[in-house]
Structure 1
Amino acid sequence: MPLLAYLILPFLFFGFIGTSSGQDKPVYQSENLVVQKVADHVYQHISYLQTQSFGKVECNGMVVVNNKEALVFDTPSNAKATQELIKWVQDGLHCQIKAVVPTHFHDDCLGGLDEFHKQQVPSYASQRTIELTKANSLPVPQHGFDTVQELKVGSKKVVVEYFGEGHTRDNVVAYYPAEKVLFGGCLIKETGATKGYLGDANTNEWSATVTKLKQKYPEIKKVIPGHGKPGGTELLDYTIGLFRPE
C-alpha cells in the first residue's frame, strides 16, 4: 500500500469523516465517540459507559442542526467524548451550540455537562431532573422547566416534553417536528432490548407514559432510543409491550 494511504486511513477512521448524506452511517468515529446521521438535520451521537451490571454500554444522544446552530440532547457519558462532540459540532458542522438538554439525571445523560458549561453553552432540564442532580451531587442543569420546553435551532424548534414516569421519574423526550424525529432517551427501548437498569424506574407507569407520547405525536417517523439502534414507531410499541402491566 502506498505511504500516502497509510497516512490517510487512520485519519478517516479516527477523525472527521465528513457529513455524508447517507443516513445511519458514521460521519465521525473515534475510540470514544461515534456520530451518525439519521435525518437531513439530525445526528445520533454514541459514547460508552462502563457499568458494573451491564459492562460497556453504548449510550445515545441527539444533535439537531439548522442555519449554523445546533442543539444537543444528552451529553456523551464522559468528559473526553463530550469534548470531541463539541469540537465536531463546531469545526465539522460549523455550528454554534445554542443549548444542551439532559433527558434525565443518570450519567449517560449528563456525564459531560460540565464540559458544555465550560464552553458557555446553556443547559436546560426538567425541574425534576434538577432536583435529582442536586440530591445526588451531580452536575446541575442551569435552567428548569415543568412539563414542556420549546427550544429554537435556527428557524426551527425542538419540543422537550415530560409525559410521565418510566425509566426514571424525571425522564423527558425531545421531538423535532420538521423531520418528525424523536429522541426518546432511556424511556424508549430498542427492539429486542431487555428491561435494563430499573433502580430508579416506575415499571407500573412506563407503558402508559409511552402510550401518551405515541398518542401526542402519531406522525413520528424516526425514533432514537437511549441505547441501541434507531428505528420507527415500532420502538414505541415494543416499549409499551415490554412494560405493559400483566
Structure 2
Amino acid sequence: MKIIVKNIFIILFSFFILSCSAQSKESFKAKEIYKSNSLIITQISENAFIHTSFKQTNDFGNVPCNGLIVKDKNETIVFDTPTNDKGSEELIQWINEKLHAKINAVIPTHFHDDSLGGLLAFHKKNIPSYSYVKTIELAKENNFVIPENSFNDSAILKVGDKDVVARYFGEGHTKDNAVGYFPSEHILFGGCLLKELEAGKGYLGDANVSAWSGTVGKVKKEYPDVKIVVPGHGDYGDARLLDYTITLFKSQ
C-alpha cells in the first residue's frame, strides 16, 4: 500500500512540475530591459529580444525600427542593425556586457538604413554579416556599407546549439526583403516585409506592391507553427500579422 501511495505521489509531483514548466514558457511576459535616448531592448521570450532604434523621416516623423536578437548559451545572432553606427555600438556593448554573450553574426534583411544603417560598427568589431545576394547588389548601387557574405535562397547559421534561418521568399517592401526564423522558439522576424496590426502601407518607394501578398503567403505556408511575429516597425504579435499584411496588399 505504501509503495502504491508513494508511486501516486511521484506521478502527481512530476505532473505538477511539468505543467508548471509548460505554463511558465507559455505565459512569458515581455518586458523592457534596457532604454536610452537611442535604443530600447525588449525581451519577448526566454532567448529572444527586440532591439528598437529610431529614424527621423520627412513623411512619417521619428519612426521606431525593430531588429531581433536570438540567443543560445553564450552566443547571439542579430537580425537588422540599429539605424546608425552609434546605436549599433550601444547594442553590441549591451549584448557583450549584459547578456555576457558574443555575437556570431549580423543579418541585415534588406538594403535600407533601418536594416543595415549601423553595419559598419559590426564590421569594426569583426562580426561577420550575411545577406541575400540582392541586398548586397543594392547596397553597392546605393553606396551603403556592404554585407560581407551572401546567400542565394537561404542560410542556416548556428547560435549555441540552435539553428537560425535567414530566407528570401520574394519581393514586397523591396526586391530583396528576407526574413529570419528561430525554430526553437517559433519566432519569425519579418522585418519590413511584415506590418503591425492596423498599420498603413508605409514607404513604397522601392516596393513591389503586386507581389507583396503572395510573398507573405509563402512565408505563412513555410512557417505554420509560428508563435511570435516581429515586424520591422511597431508592435510584435502572432500569425495574425501575416494575415493582416496579406490582406493589406491584396489586389482589389
TM-score (norm 1): 0.91
CA offset at residue 24 of structure 1? 2.5
Which of 194, 200, 214 is equivalent to 1:194? 200
Tell me whether 1:69 sits opposite 2:79 in the alignment.
no
Determine helix, strand or coil for the equivalent of 2:67: strand
Question: 1:78: Cα distance to partner?
Answer: 1.1
* Aligned-partner residue type, residue 185 of structure 1: G
Number of matched residues? 226
Q: For the Cα contact (< 8 Å) 2:217–2:246, is it kept in 1? A: yes
1:43-192 residue pairs with structure 2 within 5 A?
Answer: 43-192=49-198
After superposition, what is the alpha-carbon deviation per residue over 1:31-58, rounded to whole angstroms, capped at 9, x for unaligned? 0100001111000000000111111000
Q: How does 1:10-21 map to 2 (within 5 A)?
A: none
Q: 1: distance between equivalents of 2:42 and 2:103?
A: 18
* 1:42–1:65 CA contact under 8 A, matched in 2: yes
Considering only aligned residues, what root-mean-square deviation do their CA atoms show, in Å?
A: 0.9
* Amino acid in structure 1 at the alignment position of 2:198: G
> Which has the higher mean CA deviation after the structures are superposed, 76-85 or 189-198?
76-85
1:42 aligns with 2:48: yes
Q: CA deviation at 1:72?
A: 0.3
Please tell me whether the aligned partners of residues 28 and 46 of structure 2 are also in contact (alpha carbons under 8 angstroms). Answer: no
Distance in 2 between residues matched to 1:131 and 1:215, nearest whole Å: 28
CA distance in 2, matches of 1:24, 1:207: 29
Letter in 2 for 1:133: A
SS of structure 2 residue aligned to 1:240: helix
Gaps of 5+ in 1: 1-20
How much has 1:22 moved relative to structure 2? Answer: 5.8
Larger radius of gyration: 2
For residues 159 and 124 of structure 1, what CA distance do their matches in structure 2 show?
11
> Structure 2 regions of 5+ residues with no counterpart?
1-26
1:81 is displaced (CA, Å) by 1.2
Partner of 1:32: 38
Query: Following the alignment from structure 1 to structure 2, what is the Cα–Cα distance between the partners of residues 110 and 41?
Result: 23
TM-score between the two structures when normalised by the length of structure 2: 0.88
Give 3-state SS (helix, strand or coil) of 2:185's partner.
Answer: coil
1:140-199 CA-partner distances (Å, limit 9, x unpaired): 000000011001000001110100000000000000000000000000000000000000
Whether contact under 8 Å (1:23, 1:36) holds in the other structure is no
Q: Distance in 1 between matches of 2:44 and 2:191?
A: 15
Q: Which SS does the other structure have where 2:225 is aligned?
A: coil
CA distance in 2, matches of 1:54, 1:32: 18
Structure 2 residue aligned with 1:242? 248
- The share of aligned pairs that are identical, in percent, is 52
- Separation (CA, whole Å) in 2 of partners of 1:216 and 1:22: 25
